[in-house]
């Protein structure tokens, strides 16, 4: 097919504004997926995605559309992940397109991720088609939203398409607009091959599959290719397109979107953002923008039962096959035994992996509180990165510590500005700017330490603003901060997995709150258990778990064995998710308690 009949586009939106629903309608209307096959939201395939209602892994589809001009067009829809943790993947997906449909919910208006996504699309010079969705709802106010798109984003929204992705109203207009306004890909079939990898996944039969957009040249099965960032070479076994399921084709022409399989054993062989070229007559330079995914949040994952260690390693390896951003390495803790230190792109990524390990692999895990990556400059002139608090060098050897910052944009109704400011300032946020979006809503920008965001920032913000706050964040460099390691001692011994890194000025307050919380979480024993927080050798807080006066069986005078057994059963069930530490048992909640203290 000639390049002039190809259109490559993404759909961008704030979470829940209707991206997946609109994608479904486009698939249905072009007959790509028949109504019968149409399970709700075909493009979100993972169970977890469906439950949480957010796109985690992007999927693409090729639609064939007979336009009103009498020509048949190939429309390649490149779905983008719908969460800030995956911003880099979003930017690669956008780099594979010439245009984007910008969806704004007619009842909500422009939100934080609407803006973040528009900025990404503009960086890639995409043609943006504004779409106002959910016009079927009684509270829809398309005119207000139209003004907002013009005033806040600065896009001409006069021709914004009014749509109900739910009922299908306006879908034909969307298809026509794609053909009319989004430019065709540039023609460069004679140039050496340059294809952009914008996503990848692991297929049990074909190995790692790279989703690619051919920017220049042509790709055929049988060709020898080279990945320009890693230098690895492979022979192409299969090329194909997404219908949205994989469908083999002989070649992928310039401008088209599809996949390649080349017997790659791991998704790290075809990294998102890398450029594919041919092994001979190669392109001179890769496409711009390659970046290795860098984990921002780390935590320890330990099997509850020591004999599940191998199963945990196998499960992590399997997930890793499909997820180049997930890092893990063995780690040992005196409190928790053998486990793994894992790195994630963000909090959602961490939650998703943890849930998949438990659900899909049936593992019971103890998770330590998440930590960020600190740059620790030592007095001997070296720099170490520390993502595990218990591995922080001795304070006497540290010259300074730098912590990661994130630029956080928050959109809220104007009467909630004070609340947002208070919450952000309590977490050491530095105010950057405030802008009025319209008469009622305000956009605030704060520079916050990433580690403070881990302390329930989003949830606190959401509940304090009754769900009105919409948030977006991006990594924004490092700053020197007086951070200290705070240890927790239980029964006089340091529990390494409970150590945290905190700002010096917060240590006393958080230490007190934490030991108080732990006192309520740690089961009572026959003896008193002291719980202490310490910075260096100095104890900064202390509480006691009082001794148990009676044991559970004391009530069973006489010898009613069945009742006795029942009580013991109950006690055993209560032991779930506990780790034995010396004579004391520590429940899972204790490891997360630190995140819940102000
Ligand atoms: P992410 O995948 O998290 O980015 O969300 P999304 O933008 O894909 O949103 P999704 O399509 O899942 O829609 C969110 C909710 O809005 C769902 O409950 C949809 O059924 C509903 N919805 C989407 N479009 C419409 C619409 O036109 N009208 C109405 N009434 N509801 C809609």
Question: Does residue 132 belong to any structural domain of this protein?
Answer: yes
Q: Is the CB of 222 under 6 A from ligand 1?
A: no
Give this complex's ipTM. 0.97
Domain match, 162 and 32 both: yes
Residue 537, classified by CB atoms within 10 Å of its CB into exposed (0-12), middle (13-18) or buried (19+), is exposed
Q: Is the CB of 15 under 6 A from ligand 1?
A: yes
Question: Does residue 51 belong to any structural domain of this protein?
Answer: yes
The enclosing domain of 320 has a CATH number of 3.30.70.870
480, 503, 533 - which closes a domain: 480
Ligand 1 centroid to residue 101 C-alpha, Å: 15
Is the pLDDT at 351 greater than 50? The verdict is yes
Residues 158, 69: Cα–Cα separation, whole Å: 23
Q: Is 537 annotated as ligand-binding?
A: no
Q: Is 18 annotated as ligand-binding?
A: yes
Question: Does residue 227 belong to any structural domain of this protein?
Answer: yes
Q: Is the CB of 16 under 6 A from ligand 1?
A: yes
CB atoms within 10 A of CB 495: 25
Average pLDDT over residues 375-403: 94
**What mean pLDDT, rounded, does the chain reach?**
87
Beta-ladder partners of 202: 208
Q: Is 555 annotated as ligand-binding?
A: no
Domain match, 136 and 37 both: yes
Domain match, 354 and 398 both: no
Domain match, 107 and 1 both: yes
480, 496, 517 - which closes a domain: 480
Give 343-404 as a 3 state SS string.
Answer: EECCHHHHHHHHHHHHHCCCCCEEECCCECCEEEEECCCCEEEECCHHHCCCHHHEEEEEEE
Ligand 1 centroid to residue 19 C-alpha, Å: 6
Domain match, 360 and 386 both: no
Sequence-distant (6+) residues with CB within 8 A of 51 are: none
Classify 554 as helix, strand or coil.
Answer: helix
From residue 458, alpha-carbon distances to 9, 82, 88, 107, 427 in Å are 31, 16, 21, 22, 12
Beta-ladder partners of 447: 407, 430
Residues 93, 97: Cα–Cα separation, whole Å: 7
147, 179, 211 - which closes a domain: 179
Domain of 9? 1-179
Cβ 428 vs Cβ 503: under 8 Å: yes
What's the structural domain count of the chain? Answer: 5
Question: Does residue 418 belong to any structural domain of this protein?
Answer: yes
CB atoms within 10 A of CB 428: 19
Domain match, 308 and 455 both: no
Domain match, 417 and 433 both: yes
The enclosing domain of 445 has a CATH number of 3.30.70.240
The pLDDT confidence band at residue 15, using thresholds 50, 70 and 90, is confident
CB atoms within 10 A of CB 101: 27
Residues 370, 351: Cα–Cα separation, whole Å: 11
Domain match, 335 and 379 both: no
- Pocket probe for ligand 1: among 41, 162, 165, the residue whose CB has the most ligand atoms within 8 Å is 165
428-486: per-residue pLDDT in tens?
999 999 998 878 889 999 999 999 988 778 888 888 888 778 888 888 899 999 999 99
Domain match, 444 and 308 both: no
The pLDDT confidence band at residue 147, using thresholds 50, 70 and 90, is very high
Is the pLDDT at 45 greater than 60? The verdict is no
Question: Does residue 287 belong to any structural domain of this protein?
Answer: no
Domain match, 383 and 494 both: no
Q: Is the CB of 54 under 6 A from ligand 1?
A: yes
Q: Is the CB of 195 under 6 A from ligand 1?
A: no
Sequence-distant (6+) residues with CB within 8 A of 179 are: 7, 65, 67, 69, 73, 75
Higher pLDDT, 595 or 576: 595
Domain match, 384 and 512 both: no
Quick one: what percent of the chain has pLDDT higher than 70? 90
Q: Is the CB of 134 under 6 A from ligand 1?
A: yes
């Amino acid at each position: 097919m000639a390049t002039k009949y190809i259109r490559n586009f993404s759909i961008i939106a704030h979470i829940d504004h209707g991206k997946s629903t609109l994608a479904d309608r486009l698939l249905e209307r072009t007959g790509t997926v028949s109504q019968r096959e149409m399970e709700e939201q075909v493009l979100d395939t993972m169970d977890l995605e469906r439950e949480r209602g957010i796109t985690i892994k992007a999927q693409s589809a090729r639609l064939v559309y007979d336009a009103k001009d009498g020509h048949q067009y190939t429309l390649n829809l490149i779905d983008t992940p719908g969460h800030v943790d995956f911003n880099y993947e979003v930017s690669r997906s956008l780099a594979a397109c010439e245009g984007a449909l910008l969806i704004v919910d007619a009842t909500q208006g422009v939100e934080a991720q609407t803006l973040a996504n528009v900025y990404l699309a503009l960086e890639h010079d995409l043609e943006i088609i504004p779409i106002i969705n959910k016009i079927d709802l009684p509270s829809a106010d398309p005119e207000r939203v139209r003004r907002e798109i013009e005033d806040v984003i600065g896009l001409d929204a006069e021709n914004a398409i009014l749509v109900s992705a739910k009922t299908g109203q306006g879908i034909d207009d969307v298809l026509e607009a794609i053909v009319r306004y989004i430019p065709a890909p540039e023609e460069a079939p004679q140039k050496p091959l340059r294809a952009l990898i914008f996503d990848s996944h692991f297929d049990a039969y074909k190995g790692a599959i790279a989703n690619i957009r051919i920017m220049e040249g042509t790709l055929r099965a049988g060709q020898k290719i080279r990945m320009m960032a890693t230098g690895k070479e492979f022979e192409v076994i299969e090329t194909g397109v997404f219908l949205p399921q994989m469908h083999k084709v002989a070649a992928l022409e310039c401008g088209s979107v599809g996949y390649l399989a080349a017997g790659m054993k791991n998704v790290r062989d075809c990294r998102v953002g890398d450029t594919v070229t041919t092994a001979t007559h190669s392109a001179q330079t890769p496409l711009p923008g390659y970046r290795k995914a860098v984990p921002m949040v780390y935590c320890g994952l330990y099997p509850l039962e020591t004999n599940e260690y191998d199963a945990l390693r196998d499960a992590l390896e399997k997930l890793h096959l499909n997820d180049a951003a997930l890092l893990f390495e063995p780690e040992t803790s005196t409190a928790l035994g053998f486990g793994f230190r894992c790195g994630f792109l963000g909090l959602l990524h961490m939650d998703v992996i943890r849930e998949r390990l438990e659900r899909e692999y049936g593992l019971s895990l103890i998770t330590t509180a998440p930590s960020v990556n600190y740059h620790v400059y030592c007095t001997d002139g070296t720099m170490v990165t520390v993502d595990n608090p218990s591995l922080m060098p001795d304070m006497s050897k540290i010259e300074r510590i730098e912590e990661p910052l994130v630029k956080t944009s928050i959109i809220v109704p104007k009467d909630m500005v004070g609340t947002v400011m208070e919450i952000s300032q309590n977490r050491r946020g530095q105010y950057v700017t405030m802008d009025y979006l319209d008469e009622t809503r305000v956009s605030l920008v704060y520079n916050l330490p990433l580690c403070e965001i881990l302390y329930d920032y989003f949830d606190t913000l959401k509940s304090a603003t009754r769900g009105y706050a919409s948030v977006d964040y991006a990594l924004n460099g490092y700053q020197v901060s007086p951070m200290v390691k705070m240890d927790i001692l239980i029964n006089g011994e340091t529990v390494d997995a409970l150590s945290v890194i905190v700002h010096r000025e917060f240590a006393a307050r958080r230490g007190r709150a934490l030991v108080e919380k732990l006192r309520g979480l740690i089961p009572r024993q026959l003896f008193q258990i002291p719980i202490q927080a310490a910075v260096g050798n100095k104890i900064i807080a202390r509480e006691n778990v009082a001794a148990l006066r009676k044991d559970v069986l004391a009530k069973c005078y006489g010898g009613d064995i069945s009742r006795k057994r029942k009580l013991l059963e109950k006690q055993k069930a209560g032991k779930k998710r506990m780790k034995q530490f010396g004579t004391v048992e520590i429940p899972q909640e204790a490891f997360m308690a630190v995140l819940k203290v102000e």
